[in-house]
Homo-oligomer: A and B are copies of this chain.
Amino acid sequence: MPLYFQVATRLQELIEKGEIGVGARIENEVDLAERLGVSRPTTRRAIQYLVERGMLVRKRGVGTQVVHPKVRRPVELSSLYDDLVAGDRSPRTEVLELRTMPAPDPIAAALEVAPGTEVTWIERLRYAGGEPLALMHNAIPVDVLRLTPEDLASHGLYELLRRAGLTPRIATQVIGARSATAAEARILTEKRGASLLTMTRTAWDAGGRALEYGSHVYRASRYSFELNLSAG
């Protein structure tokens, strides 16, 4: 574990425990470095880490202040399944459809691959707490990953990607809303015309290769997106 990370963790603990209260200034970099027996760049990097997480704020000529006692996590690249597991809402997945087919033009465009590229097309129904929560459509290029219905029934798509050594790194999402069609309402046990949250996403790995395109609809009565933002 890197030194700067150890320092950051130690600082973070002090703040989370409240031993350095909100609004208080922490020791200046030079003294802190000397007291901990590390160099100033290392100290700076540790502080920088906590600044990026929204715990600390620096001001030149003034010092470094605690602004929030808890880490505000940035928006994360996780899947719904992971979120539900973390929230203890006992997710279950029903695979309604799984087949390979040439990508339709809009999906090929979203994935930034040639039109007609073979993709695995998946339609899944996600339950949480025994109730249907979301209807999810995904397209994964076949040369990225091959999937079986069994895998998908018991694991999140992102978990399967990670297991195959594929790490989503960058994603663009569009969140919107619309009314449920009759078919959607029936599947999600909502009334016709009920409001649905829609989310479309394309995710790329570190190599810039598109891993996944997703077009999902959520029951607005049961789900919302939570975001934590921090500006430079």
Contact = CB atoms under 8 A, between A and B. Distances in A.
Contact of A177 (B57, B195, B227, B229): B195
Contact of A67 (B171, B174, B208, B221): B208
Determine the interface band of chain A, counting residues with CB < 8 A from chain B. Answer: 35 or more
Chain A at the B interface: mostly helix, strand, loop or mixed?
Answer: strand
Interface string A155-189: 00000000000011111111111110000000000
Contacts of A66: 208
B208 A169 contact: no
Copy number in the complex reads 2
Interface stretch (A68-76, A99-107, A140-148): A68-76
A23 interface: yes
Contact of A178 (B208, B220, B231): B220
Contact of A172 (B67, B168, B228): B228
A227 B132 CA distance: 26
B168 A231 contact: yes
